[in-house]
Amino acid sequence: QVTLRESGPALVKPTQTLTLTCSFSGFSLSTNGMCVSWIRQPPGKALEWLARIDWDGDKFYNTSLKTRLIISKVTSKNQVVLTMTNMDPVDTATYYCARIVVASGSYLFDYWGQGALVTVSS
């Protein structure tokens, strides 16, 4: 059974750095074709992809946020960590992590965490 769970602070101040952890079970990020991504959704708005880390350690970022994001994995702990620097109120959103399976040439976001609401306010 595949599960993912996001954890981190619910409230951060402007200019602070946000650190979110995705803890997962039911799969290994060392398995060929497995990836984990972070996606966010401001209240009432659309989904925005943030970053992805692959089974082989490759990392990819949203080009418009690239300078503020770092994604990393701790394979032994089944965790993926996202840090976002210089937080601003516009970064207030629900942050999701999701498993991606590369299959048949497609990228399937097939399992998602329940999401973590992060509010940026002084």
How far from chain centre, in Å, is Cα 71? Answer: 8
Toward other proteins, which CB reaches closer, 1 or 104?
A: 104
- Give the x/- contact pattern for other proteins in 12-51, rule: CB under 8 A: -------------------------x--------xxxx--
Report how many residues bind other proteins under the rule CB under 8 A: 24
Distance CA 60, CA 13 (A): 26
Residues 6 or more apart whose Cβ sits within 8 Å of residue 61:
50, 51, 69, 71
Q: Which of the stretches 14-22, 60-68, 72-80, 85-93 binds other proteins when contact is defined by CB under 8 A?
A: 60-68
Whether the CB-CB separation of 86 and 70 falls below 8 Å is answered with: no
DSSP 91: G
Residue 112 near residue 120, CB atoms below 8 Å: no
Candidates 10-18, 23-31, 78-86, 103-111; binding stretch for other proteins (CB under 8 A): 103-111
Interface with other proteins, residue 95, by CB under 8 A: no
Site for other proteins, rule CB under 8 A: 37, 46-49, 52, 60-63, 96, 98, 103-110, 112-115
